[in-house]
A and B are shown apart, each in its own frame.
Chain A
């Protein structure tokens, strides 16, 4: 038996702590049962909230207010920066986007050119194969014709007339 097989696998201390947490929260253990009961109760609360019209309306209003505040803050900050002819984060981001678009386009052209070249090469290889095959066919035909001509020609016996 090799030494590796004989020695038991060492468990990572992190794995041990995780297994301990897993054991304590497992539905099969006593502390886990308490944990699962708490989890179920919390899930029910969140489920109720996610379907509660009053809560959803309030959350929607809060989100709308937050978005408006963000839009107004950003546009005010941009207006001030533009007043001093300074670029804003939006300007930089837009410029970065434009640059990325140009880069993407160049990459796109490269990729498409590669595909087109591959298709052309395939087509050229096919054409060459076709030409080769037709040449071979013509050669075979000519050889066949010559053979036929030889076979159908009157045979001349050596040694003079009978």
Chain B
């Protein structure tokens, strides 16, 4: 009897403390006018499953260089086996830590384990100052300066440039403008032929999508608008996917991975206005990037200038950068050593799925290692 009353007391205590915690988090979401379901569902799921905050971006790093909101992060391997470092360029839309997702599911952690010296750009959150940034300043200023710091800090004469998603498009543009100092290029889920880029090609058609009106009205593209765009790709699944967590609420690994993914998906940053204007116009609407007529400053982005070994990684089920948009890259570059690797996953699955550390990343690491300068005696 006394055992039952103690049990009821502990249950009541749990309920009271949980309710208080949930209420605080929900109030905070309402106060922030959060538009993503994640902010409202997270406290409930965490409480029901008894899990903590997902430990995203677990790999330690140090900041090598910063400019405005941007930071260049350095991840140092315990034992460096390759002199040639890897320099990751990620998209301006989301946060970079999808590459350093969770312990044991981090591409960056995996590359460190393989003995690579790793650098990654974290674009930060665009504010008023970044609103006026153009492609010229982003590529010839930010990325070029980061590339110099990568060479300087690693002590290597060249590096492997690794672009992901829109970061891949930007990295390709950079590589065509500054092919010197590039040893290898890896493009992961990178849209190249924008007239074959699935629903986005149709949605952004000139006359239908007025990018000037958007940028003139909003400056930087608000996160809510970007989220609405991504939600519109699969609006029903966006809501019903939470039911799968309900069903598997007893599986803490599944719940943690799910929450980590949703945390990242909800952690969008505003897209710098002028970069967005040129991105939509020159890439999606006029396909100038693919045709070699996109102007950046006084120069032209011509993918034929890329001559270094190239690896094109494509996700078969990618709806953001569909295979039809990524595949043509290998036809337009001048590289003689070029390869396409395809994997049966989605856009994000390349970096976060359980297949990553077992089936996807070892192949990528082997390809890069075979084309990197080995470290003399290790470090």
Interface residues of A (CB under 8 A from B): 10, 12-15, 18-19, 21-23, 25-26, 39, 42-43, 46, 50-51, 56-57, 60, 63-64, 67-68, 70-71, 74, 93-94, 96-98, 100-101, 104, 107-108, 111-112, 115, 119
Contacts and interface: CB of A to CB of B under 8 A. Distances in A.
Interface stretch (B45-53, B173-181, B305-313): B45-53
B27 interface: no
Chief secondary structure at chain A's binding surface: helix
Nearest to B69: A104
Interface string B51-70: 00000000000011111110
Chief secondary structure at chain B's binding surface: helix
B129 to A, nearest CB: 5
B18 interface: yes
A111 B210 contact: no
A24 to B, nearest CB: 9
Given A14-B44, A26-B247, A104 B66 contact: yes
A15 B216 contact: no
Given A63-B210, A64-B213, A67-B210, A98 B128 contact: yes
Nearest to B74: A115
A97 B18 contact: no
Interface of B: 7, 11, 14-15, 18, 44-45, 47-50, 63-69, 127-129, 131, 153, 199, 202-203, 205, 207-210, 213-214, 216-218, 232-237, 240, 243-250
B235 A18 contact: no
Nearest to B204: A60
B49 A15 contact: yes
B60 to A, nearest CB: 16
A48 to B, nearest CB: 12
A93 B217 contact: no
A94 B219 CA distance: 11
A101 B129 contact: yes
A60 B236 contact: no
B15 A67 contact: no
Contact of B249 (A15, A26, A112): A15
Contact of A64 (B47, B205, B210): B210
A60 B208 contact: yes
Contacts of B209: 60, 63
Given A25-B246, A26-B247, 19 more contacts: A12-B14, A15-B250, A18-B44, A18-B45, A18-B48, A18-B246, A19-B246, A21-B243, A23-B247, A46-B236, A50-B203, A56-B202, A63-B214, A74-B217, A100-B69, A101-B68, A104-B66, A104-B68, A107-B66
Contacts of B217: 67-68, 70-71, 74
